[in-house]
Amino acid sequence: MYNKYTYILIVLMTALAVPFVGAQTQENHQNTALELGQPVTDFSQGLVIRLKSNTTKTQVYPTNYEQYMLELINRGRADPQAEADRYSTPLNEGISSDTISSEPKQPLAFNLYLIDGARKHSQWMLDNDTFSHDENGKSSTDRMQEAGYELGNRYMTGENIAWHGTTNQNTDVYTFIDGIHEGLYVDKNINERGHRKNLMRQEWKEMGVGLQIGSFRSDSHNYVNTLMETEDYAYSANTDGQALLTGVAYDDTDEDDFYTPSEGLGEITITAQRKSDQQKFSTLTWTSGGYSLPIPPGTYSVYGKGDGLGKTVYYGEGLIEAQNVTIDFRPDGPSIPNQEDALLYWNRKKEEAWLVTL
């Protein structure tokens, strides 16, 4: 029998609708449930997919909480072994020992179309009290494409969905996000640990996170405060030959050396200036503090400036190749274009295997 306050965490990853298995435990008179689906990843080579005629392209910007989820994902990709230690779950627990390496994986950059598609699917699941990748016959790949993401002639897509709800009137979104991320990484009782493999797959370059809050009914119980999440992962041949410079500008007010919702700095100008011809590639950070800047391979000086930083934060010169690089900007970042400091910074990036070389 359920007591007054019931909490639930559900996670599922697939590109196709499949049956899911469930388990329930009862401890200290509090009921919890964890239900996980059998994972699938969608990929194609040599197949050209054209946008459907009813496609509506809408660029939406990440919320602070969606940005936080991306930072958690990229934290794990930056140091997979540390993530394994954090959750007391070996990288290859439940799978072949050579499936996930401890080497850093390229960071994921937000794609605004993928955010839109992910957010709409999360809302659809809430509206229909349905937890599924299949949306009226459309797969996750179909939905990404309809949102405006161009797959190209080669692509890979993947999706994780999860929800964390309570019968309590209060919603601790911050804690719910942490719980969802941990659940997807640990991937308990899921064959082949597909959620964890999605989180750590090197091939991904872009993603969208869609978080929605609302009421959700499951197993005859109404979870009046539910955080529904969709994570859409993608690689498209259209991004071959370019890197996505990504990261977040934030003021670390809680001094934990990590982005926290509400710390983001919007309207910060991020610039990568190419050494060979001095051409500048620039973008503005979103309200969340995040940014995504596509650039061709080359040697760049990277800097950010804006009122929130209080100065120009400068990272000197480094060679950025054809895979993603993450650079964060904080008010306490380097401000003097000292080449010795720049070399130290870029060499550290190289050691982190962010695919940056000198």
Q: List, run by run, the mean pLDDT of 10-residue segments along the chain (358 residues).
A: 44 38 26 40 47 58 98 98 98 97 98 98 97 94 95 93 86 90 93 94 97 92 91 95 96 97 98 96 98 97 95 90 94 74 59 41
CATH of 64-239, one of 3.40.50.300, 3.40.1390.10, 3.40.33.10, 3.10.20.30: 3.40.33.10
- pTM value is 0.86
Angle between helices 64-78 and 173-186 (to 10 degrees): 30
- As annotated, the residues of the chain forming the CATH 2.60.40.1120 domain(s) are 244-347
Q: Where in the chain does DSSP place strands (E)? A: 7-13, 20-27, 30-37, 42-45, 109-110, 154-166, 206-218, 221-236, 243-248, 269-274, 280-284, 290-295, 298-305, 313-320, 325-326, 356-357
In this structure, the strands spanning 221-236 and 206-218 are antiparallel
Angle between helices 112-128 and 140-147 (to 10 degrees): 130
For residue 344, what pLDDT is reported? 59
- Angstrom distances, CA of residue 109 to CA of 132, 167, 203, 206, 226: 25, 34, 12, 5, 26
Task: Confirm if 289 and 248 have CB atoms less than 8 A apart.
Answer: yes
- The pair of structure tokens assigned to 229 is 């999440």
Q: How far apart are CA 268 and CA 285, in angstroms?
A: 5
Identify the CA nearest to 111 among candidates 238, 20, 270: 238
- As annotated, the residues of the chain forming the CATH 3.40.33.10 domain(s) are 64-239
| Ramachandran sector of residue 3 (left: φ over 0; alpha: ψ -120 to 50; beta: rest) | beta
Q: 244-347 — its CATH code?
A: 2.60.40.1120
